[in-house]
Structure 1
């Protein structure tokens, strides 16, 4: 079932009110469509407004300082920084699963963002995860990886990530890097834990899978947003500056995507890790059910996810 994208029915489709103008749209050009399909990523300048970015940063600080409940969100600290005795914002790497928070949902359900997504993966959209990333000074690299490694649903072409800069993002403070066209290989590489990486931060084990000299480094201004295919090889550099590097990001899937069995695949190990983490938190959930549990319909009709 296809749902028309109009101002009159968006209000009915969004499960929670969004504190932005619901008439906001962003129509992709043919060139932008082609660039995304060919290269596996697309940067759109100034997509998210300053007022929204300010609200995200303020909400992050409120959660950091214990001024508001985190609800279903999880605060993740940078292990190396904690070991140095740093606390609060200086040690927090990210807050994950923020798409049920009343402030952060105005990002994951931002009409302009959803309009872009609907043109790339279709008009029935589920947000499957989200986070606000802090990346304080001294944070290490996020090694080259593919996001599809974490997702037990397909097809890959109907999954997409959105990543919006809250601060100025430079190579000094750890901007994203991508390997253009790497999604065209249609290969999901074996991943594993690399030295110095946080828990559940996996990297591609086959270094022959990429040539670092071919990476494109995405320096971005506040409000700039990059959309990327789940098979594209990407990561982020270390923060060697004296400033924080905040961004807000989420992954989405077309709601008609199907869950798959990852037994015997390169994802089998991460499935066990996710299930063990769920059990540690008191939930007896399969890898697939963990994703069902935290996913949220944000546009159109929910079917399989």
Structure 2
């Protein structure tokens, strides 16, 4: 994995008129990228050149701004374009499995607009409270909060409590759960957590049927270790899902889960790509 050079983390180095100007240009660039993504042919040299220019070269160059407080909000407004390799656009239907406290849910909501929809699935009680406070469930917004864990079966499951983005289901295959972030190894083993609760679980099929969701533009799976099981449970829905993103950064007893996630999605006929951070991106060859 690429380590961040120290000068990039120094806000003083980046706090120059030239850099500020480039960061301020993000909204205009995003609109241009969205237009080209919608109108270029799905195959051929022009598409391959576009994807290299947009989704590979800039990400390696620009993701560093995510770690500078002054630019974080501006950057993440448009990270959807680069990190997931396509621009989320107005009218999209997004399913977020593992919505945490709603930070990224808010960006999805803004990107899809009034004509789009976001289904935010999250089991951790504290996170659910924050989601509902942020996105009232009175029909006035475009976010539907589902206070459940997505799993292979329904019922109650044990859930380890941690920070807003660190909680996870307790029963995950493997004795040692680890992940690497910018070259530093950390773990998700039981002693990391401050306690556990029982949470309601259901299958993605049941959850999305109850929410009356039709065709889906993007499903994002970030569940801190159970991404493989969730992706496998999505199988009946995959024909109507254009794109899937599953964070396979967790290793079970030394084996990265992104390997099994990619193999499974490839076997379902999807085109896959794995980022340097273990995010598996898969898509059908469907016109936008």
Give TM-score, length-normalised by structure 2.
0.32
Higher helix share: 2
Give TM-score, length-normalised by structure 1.
0.30
Asked which structure has the greater RCO (Cα within 8 Å, sep 6+), the reply is 1
